[in-house]
Amino acid sequence: MALVENIQSNEARISEAMPGDYFALLKPRVMSLVVFTAFVGMMLAPGSINPLIALIAILAIAVGGGASGALNMWYDADIDAVMTRTKKRPIPAGRIAGGEALAFGLVLSVFSVLTLGTLTNWVAGGLLAFTIFFYAVIYTMWLKRSTPQNIVIGGAAGAFPPMIGWAAVTGGISLESVVLFLIIFLWTPPHFWALALFKLRDYDMAKVPMLPNVAGERHTKLQIVAYSLVLAVVAVSPWPLGLAGPVYGAVSILLGLNFLRHAIAVWRMPDGDATMVPAKKLFGFSLVYLASLFSVLLGEALVMKVLAG
């Protein structure tokens, strides 16, 4: 009788969640970026790694990244429910209960870290554990709701994967892997602030203090230009550091100039612009920018490995 009452009051329920709903908790689109950048970090690292171990390491990094996404969705379900971009996620849509997502995220976190640490080394395993902690606790539970600089500091979580891939091969951290980290770290603010500009009302409704709805559009646009400028310079640095060749150098300069052009277009956009076309263009280009940089890095590294025999 009690059970039936609980069901009627919606406190207990029988899940209708499909495996695909659990997969959605892993944020597959973010996971694809994590996999790709971690793989590039692995390929650029000096030294060698058994291909099977490399494959498992990438899988562990992907699952660890996904687990942090599940923990983020568990904690942010209230915010996700009011934002158009996120309200169809499994928890706000009612397909998965918060507690299930929490357990799912915790179990995958533990298993991914143990697998990576055991099969590669504990620097890589430790970095993955720190990444999950940083994203789930530092960013999601603390920064996201408390400061408009949330995405600046929290962006570090998304920037760690190439360092983890590098560490899986070398067992350490070096200037080169920090540069790969910095490229993603500096890319994150203009990427997310461009999104926040045209989703400003969403963040406002969810009471998330993003830069545009706290400091205003003008200040955000200036910050976008400033970060884009630093990003464009830092993104070229793998070339002089010897981590990449002249092809990467030329491509990174051209892409950086294009990024700056888009950022300046956003800066020139009148405040209160209803369509926000330049912001949408910057957001779209930023994805192409990062994917292109890491693709060229990967391409050059593979060519060098083939030439080296």
Partner 1 sequence: MAENKQDTVEMTDAQKKAQRRRSVALGLVLAAFVVIIYVGSWAKMGASLFDRSL
Binding residues (CB under 8 A) for partner 1: these are: 1, 3-4, 7, 14-19, 22, 50, 52-53, 56, 59, 111, 115, 118-119
Residue number with CB closer to partner 1 (100 or 202): 100
CB 126 within 8 A of CB 117: yes
Nearer to partner 1, 84 or 118 (CB): 118
Considering the complex, state which of residue 22 and residue 39 has its C-beta at the smaller distance from partner 1: 22
**Choice between 59 and 97, CB closer to partner 1:** 59
* Rounded CA separation 244/59 (Å): 26
Query: Using an 8 Å Cβ cutoff, are 308 and 48 in contact?
Result: no
Query: What is the nearest approach in angstroms of partner 1 to the Cβ of residue 60?
Result: 9
Q: Taking a C-beta distance cutoff of 8 angstroms, is the pair 144, 170 a contact?
A: no
Q: How far is the CB of 29 from partner 1 (least distance, A)?
A: 20
Name the residue nearer to partner 1 (CB basis): 128 or 231.
128
* Residue closer to partner 1 (CB basis): 121 or 292: 121
**C-alpha–C-alpha distance, residues 149 and 156, integer Å:** 12
Nearer residue to partner 1 within complex by CB, 14 or 175 = 14
To which residue do tokens 């990427």 refer? Answer: 191
CA-closest candidate to residue 45, choices 180, 166, 197, 207 = 166
Nearer to partner 1, 69 or 158 (CB): 69
Shortest gap between Cβ of 129 and partner 1 (angstroms)?
18
Token pair 């929290």 is found at 154
Q: Min. distance of Cβ 104 from partner 1 in angstroms?
A: 11
Closest separation between CB of residue 20 and partner 1, Å?
A: 9
At 77, list the tokens.
């379900």
* Residue 94 neighbours by CB under 8 Å, 6+ apart: none
In the 8-state DSSP scheme, what is residue 89? S
Burial class of residue 4 (count of CB atoms within 10 Å of its CB; 0-12, 13-18, 19+):
exposed
**Phi-psi region for residue 10, left (φ > 0), alpha (ψ -120 to 50) or beta?**
left
Q: Which is nearer to partner 1, 4 or 307 (CB)?
A: 4
CA pair distance 46, 18, nearest whole angstrom: 42
Q: In the structure encoding, which two tokens stand for residue 73, read together?
A: 């969705």
Rounded Cα distance between 128 and 122, Å, is 9
- Tell me the three state secondary structure of residue 206: coil
Cβ atoms 157, 68 nearer than 8 A: yes
- Token code pair at residue 38: 């971690």
